[in-house]
Amino acid sequence: MVLSLRVMAPNRIVWNSEVWEVILSTNSGQIGILPNHAPLLTALDMGVSKIHTNGQWSAMAPMGGFAMVDNNRVTILVNEAERANEIDPDEARKDFQIAEAELVGAEGRRKRIEANLRFRRAKARLEASTII
């Protein structure tokens, strides 16, 4: 038995296929979704989602959003997401280093919040790009 996974951003469909398993980064930690999972609606955090299909794992970096699981269908709505194969690992590593330096040097509440968001986004992209 398989799951139907559909990941939608405002400007495109990021993922639309049958999968065996999905691991999502939620606001309360990671959650694994297998066939016949109980109905669920959850908020997603910036992080890496792992997708198991055809005997191999793939990754995606959604930048928050919501996931709904019902009747072996996983529907994910995001503002932005990138599949691992769309991310250049060298660029992601450079962006992560810049974001990390900005976070360390951020002064003031607003600058720290903005730097933390950039850091979390860069970290998710870097992690997704290195999953094989």
Query: What domains can you pick out in the chain, each with its CATH number?
Result: 3-84 (2.60.15.10), 85-130 (1.10.287)
50-57: average pLDDT: 91
Amino acid letter, residue 28: S
| Residue 25 to residue 40: CA distance in whole angstroms | 14
Residue 25: C-alpha distances to residues 1, 8, 47, 105, 109 (Å): 23, 16, 6, 28, 26
Q: Does the pLDDT value for residue 64 go beyond 90?
A: no
User: How many residues belong to the chain?
Assistant: 132
| Residue 122 to residue 99: CA distance in whole angstroms | 7
To the nearest whole percent, how much of the chain has pLDDT over 90?
Answer: 88
pLDDT digits (tens, 9 = 90+) for 79-130: 999 999 999 999 999 999 999 999 898 899 999 999 999 999 999 999 999 8
Which pairing describes strands 49-53 and 21-26: parallel, antiparallel, or unpaired?
antiparallel
The H or E element that residue 46 is part of is strand 40-46
CA nearest to 7, candidates 65, 57, 70, 91: 65
39-52: average pLDDT: 94
Confidence at residue 114, expressed as pLDDT on a 0 to 100 scale? 93
pLDDT digits (tens, 9 = 90+) for 10-29: 999 999 999 999 999 998 99
Query: 132 pLDDT band (50/70/90 cuts)?
Result: low
| Residue 111 to residue 107: CA distance in whole angstroms | 6
